Amino acid sequence: MPGGEITPDKLIVIGEVAKDFGLYTKITGGQRIDLFGARVEQLPLIWKRLVDAGMESGQAYGKSLRTVKSCVGSTWCRFGVQDSVGMAIALELRYRGLRAPHKLKLGVSGCARECAEARGKDVGVIATDKGWNLYVGGNGGFTPRHAQLLAEDLDDDTLVQTIDRFFMYYIRTADRLQRTAVWMEELEGGLKHLQEVLIADSLGIGADLDAAMARHVDSYSDEWADVLGDPVKLARFSSFVNATDYPDPDLLYVAERGQKRPATPEEKQAVLIAGPALQVRP
Ligand code: SF4
């Protein structure tokens, strides 16, 4: 759900899927909805219903773009000076599926009050009266870091092009599992070097980085839909290769706060819960 936007109809489909398959449901900090507790053979059935309703894989499993968090911006907030939701959606649709050395998170705030906490992201965008300020190299996690100001008052196109180049330069030069903050710390020249390469094109690689991102955007496809359309990939979705209709009996759940959660080893000995209705039997 790019931008955290969801129509009532899609929300109803998500709720129906969660009920029908007995899934644990939680709103995430990345402005999405977690659905936990499906068995592997249920995934294609769940994905089909979500894909048919106009949704797609959120790539939450990859070293890739995760979410683009946003506030409501100028559309709904009296302080907003730019459409932060519109920009967040454009960025998420552009970078979805982009594989990288580590996960990538973005944030877009509609004014300097920073309700989207964009400076805690790998790429943070904060609206100004004249355009957008671009911050890079922030993260939460073990060692939280605030992103640093890379460029000020960018128009939409220049903002997107600068983020394109930042991501592609990072993807091509960072070590595996190195997040943007650590990569920037170890980069000779640090922020100043990035400004020279990405904005002044001091290495003459700007057009190459732009073309690489264009190839990514052009080649994107939804991985759920890809699986649903490929019998070979679909065949992998069974708990047991030699008993495809047999669900994994080791997956047991207990009820908590009106939903299910995985049973602890001790609980597995004592309580079994089966099926979406969460019937408890000793
Ligand atoms: S960051 Fe600014 S525009 Fe966005 S919700 Fe907060 S006050 Fe409103």
Ligand 1 atom nearest to 111, measured from its CA: 2
pLDDT at 271: 57
pLDDT at 250: 85
Q: Are 49 and 17 in contact (CB under 8 A)?
A: yes
- pLDDT mean over 16-35: 95
Residues 53, 201: Cα–Cα separation, whole Å: 43
pLDDT at 248: 82
| Average pLDDT of every residue of the chain | 93
Interval between CA 81 and ligand 1 midpoint (Å): 9
Give the rounded percent of residues in the chain with a pLDDT score beyond 70: 96
- DSSP assignment of 135-164 equals EES-B-SSS-B--EEEEEEE-HHHHHHHHH
- pLDDT mean over 183-199: 97
- Taking the domains of the chain in order of start, what are their residue ranges? 1-57+222-251, 62-221
- pLDDT mean over 34-59: 95
pLDDT band at 249; cut points 50, 70, 90: confident
Position 243 pLDDT exceeds 70? yes
The identity of residue 47, as a single letter, is W
pLDDT digits (tens, 9 = 90+) for 53-88: 999 998 888 899 999 999 999 999 999 999 999 999
Which residues lie below 8 Å from residue 279, measured CB to CB, with a gap of 6+?
273
- Single pTM value for the model: 0.92
Which residues lie below 8 Å from residue 178, measured CB to CB, with a gap of 6+?
101, 102, 186
Interval between CA 89 and ligand 1 midpoint (Å): 16
pLDDT digits (tens, 9 = 90+) for 95-147: 999 999 999 999 999 999 999 999 999 999 999 999 999 999 999 989 999 99
Gap between the terminal Cα atoms of the chain: 40
Give the closest residue to 86 by CA, choosing from 163, 167, 161, 4. 4
pLDDT at 246: 79
Mutation pick for ligand 1 pocket among 75, 81, 84 (CB with most ligand atoms within 8 Å)? 84
Beta strands in the chain (DSSP E): 24-27, 33-36, 65-70, 104-109, 123-127, 132-136, 148-154, 253-256, 259-262, 272-274, 279-281
pLDDT digits (tens, 9 = 90+) for 205-227: 999 999 999 999 999 999 999 99
pLDDT at 282: 42
Give the closest residue to 98 by CA, choosing from 227, 187, 219. 219
Ligand 1 atom nearest to 77, measured from its CA: 8
State whether residue 103 is helix, strand or coil: coil
- pLDDT mean over 192-214: 98
φ, ψ dihedrals at 22, nearest 5°: 65, 45
What the block records as the tokens of 196 is: 């020279």
Task: Give the residues surrounding ligand 1 with Cβ less than 6 Å away.
Answer: 71-73, 77, 79-80, 84, 109-111, 113-115
Interval between CA 124 and ligand 1 midpoint (Å): 14
Architecture of domain 62-221: 2-Layer Sandwich (3.30)
pLDDT at 247: 79
Q: Are 171 and 163 in contact (CB under 8 A)?
A: no
Position 167 pLDDT exceeds 80? yes
